[in-house]
């Protein structure tokens, strides 16, 4: 019988170097190779990682970052959810959904964040919609070391998940730093 997954939320600075390198290897082959994201060089750093493992081997991950962005020019705290990735051998078993849910639970219960915010390619939007996320079709700008940049709206959309009674404000989103 298959063992149950071990689900942990760990501070990102405590991840062992060999695991960081293995995850980077898979990020390079998947998310970072996506045309929607190839122009991004500087990424927001994760504060927490949801790590789902079977028998000590990573199976699925999601990153959480505690951020203050700007929406319509006003500061807005969000829990950024990013780097959602499942090992190719473990896909289609609901692990990414489990990782995202664990990330949102942590954002609400431990960080008191009023919203989750992620960016999604259009092909994955239905997947996140099914998990309760709503797209916010506004302009998405962010900062890189060589100046301001933006996501192509034809490729990437922001999606939010309510974690409180707050209403999402109107206006374009500025990540106020590197994006996720």
Ligand X SMILES: CC(C)(COP(=O)(O)OP(=O)(O)OC[C@H]1O[C@@H](n2cnc3c(N)ncnc32)[C@H](O)[C@@H]1OP(=O)(O)O)[C@@H](O)C(=O)NCCC(=O)NCCS
Candidates 1-9, 42-50, 80-88, 105-113: pick the segment binding ligand X (CB under 6 A): 80-88
What backbone torsions phi and psi does residue 156 show, to the nearest 5 degrees? -130, 140
Specify whether the CB–CB gap between 76 and 169 falls below 8 A.
yes
Interface with ligand X, residue 97, by CB under 6 A: yes
Which residue's structure tokens are 């990573």?
A: 58
Binding mask 140-169 for ligand X (x = CB under 6 A): ------------------------------
For residue 80, the minimal CB distance to ligand X (Å) is: 12
Interface with ligand X, residue 132, by CB under 6 A: no
**Interface with ligand X: number of residues (CB under 6 A):** 17
Q: Closer to ligand X at the Cβ: 84 or 113?
A: 84
Pairing of strands 173-174, 140-144: parallel
Q: Closer to ligand X at the Cβ: 41 or 91?
A: 91
CA dist., res. 34 & res. 23, Å (int): 16
Interface with ligand X, residue 81, by CB under 6 A: no
Interface with ligand X, residue 137, by CB under 6 A: no
Binding mask 5-44 for ligand X (x = CB under 6 A): -------------------------xx-------------
Looking only at residues 45 through 64 of this chain, which bind ligand X when binding is defined by CB under 6 A? 60
For residue 73, the minimal CB distance to ligand X (Å) is: 27
Candidates 42-50, 63-71, 88-96, 153-161: pick the segment binding ligand X (CB under 6 A): 88-96
Specify whether the CB–CB gap between 179 and 119 falls below 8 A.
yes
Number of residues written out for the chain: 180
Residues that bind ligand X (CB under 6 A): 30-31, 60, 84-86, 91-97, 120, 123-124, 127
């Amino acid at each position: 019988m298959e063992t149950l997954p071990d689900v942990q939320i760990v501070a990102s600075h405590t991840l062992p170097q060999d695991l960081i390198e293995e995850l980077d290897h898979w990020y390079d082959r998947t998310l970072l190779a996506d045309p929607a994201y190839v122009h991004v060089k500087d990424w927001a750093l994760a504060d927490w990682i949801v790590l789902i493992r079977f028998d000590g081997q990573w199976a699925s991950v999601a990153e959480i970052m505690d951020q203050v962005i700007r929406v319509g020019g006003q500061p807005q705290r969000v829990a950024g959810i990013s780097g959602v990735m499942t090992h190719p051998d473990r896909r289609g078993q609901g692990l990414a959904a489990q990782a995202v849910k664990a990330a949102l639970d942590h954002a609400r219960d431990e960080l008191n964040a009023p919203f989750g915010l992620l960016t999604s390619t259009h092909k994955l939007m239905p997947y996140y919609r099914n998990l309760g996320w709503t797209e916010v079709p506004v302009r998405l700008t962010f900062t890189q070391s060589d100046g301001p940049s933006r996501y192509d709206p034809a490729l990437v959309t922001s999606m939010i998940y309510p974690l409180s009674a707050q209403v999402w404000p109107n206006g374009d989103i500025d990540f106020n730093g590197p994006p996720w």
